[in-house]
Amino acid sequence: MQGRCRRATIATLISLLASIAVAQEPETPPEVIISVADQKLMVVKDGMWVDKFKVSTSKFGLGDSYGSYKTPLGKLRVCDKIGSGLASGSVIKHRNATGEILPVNAPGRDPIVTRILWLEGLEATNQHAKARGIYIHGTVEESKIGDPVSYGCIRMKSRDVMNLFDAVPVGSVVTIQHDKLPKLRRWSPQPAVIIAQHKPAAQSVHPVKPVAEKLEAASESKSHETKSHGLFSNDGHRVLTQRAAADLHRNHGPSFSNASDAMKGSILFADLPGTGSKKD
């Protein structure tokens, strides 16, 4: 018995430690895919899409040359994030907030606003991206989002870039591609694994149970009858009356009837009103 309990305890501990190790594994950061053909951005996690937003790429086309104002293609990464805590529409110049806040579609204005995710190229085809200041950023010209109208950066609506800023950490991979966005299943969180803790059932104290067991034993053999005549509680008082035996028969079935028959004439029924029994 002790060996089985020890093995069960060890197995439970191993399962618990394995679950803790899985829970402590760092999450893979989400990836970002930007489609020039769709003028859309997709946040991808575990091979499934989490969010989709309309964007605007360059009106000058695709490329990585200095002074071209083109949007580079290929794999890049978020090397820095700027603007945490700024109000929507906050103007950012030279990667610093100016203190000015503009409304959406402010006439005659086209600055970078709200948030910046600075991109660094990971391939030869986009190696100048960081030096060129290629960002994912907010714009006040939200009415034009969905058309290629930028000067090389990826423009987003302020509320969308704020959501992206919070969801994508520094180091996340950003793929800018000419093709349409891939068709992926929508992401949903995995159910949490709950380890049930075994708790031994509380033993209910039933005053009749020890007596019932002895009564059943008394019905099995005549030798038990003699022992059953001496059923007393610790303080020497009788522990069963004829009425109690009848209640046991009514509530628990024929086995108590046999036990009751075996107890007839015993000291348990002696000298009790209405029993008709005599003292031994």
pTM of the predicted model as reported, rounded to 2 decimal places: 0.61
Do 234 and 166 share a domain, yes or no? no
| Of 159, 177, 195, the domain-final residue | 177
- Predicted confidence at residue 61, as pLDDT, reads 97
Do 171 and 220 share a domain, yes or no? no
In a domain, 6, yes or no: no
Do 163 and 84 share a domain, yes or no? yes
In a domain, 10, yes or no: no
Average pLDDT over residues 58-83: 98
Q: Which of 24-38, 66-80, 202-216 holds the top average pLDDT?
A: 66-80
Domain span holding position 65:
31-177
- Predicted confidence at residue 182, as pLDDT, reads 95
Do 159 and 223 share a domain, yes or no? no
Average pLDDT over residues 86-98: 97
Do 109 and 224 share a domain, yes or no? no
Residue 53 has pLDDT above 90, yes or no: yes
Residue 223 has pLDDT above 80, yes or no: no
Average pLDDT over residues 206-220: 53
Do 122 and 246 share a domain, yes or no? no
Per the listing, tokens 């103007």 go with 91
What average pLDDT does the structure give for the chain?
78
pLDDT digits 0-9 by tens, 98-121 = 999 999 999 999 999 999 999 999
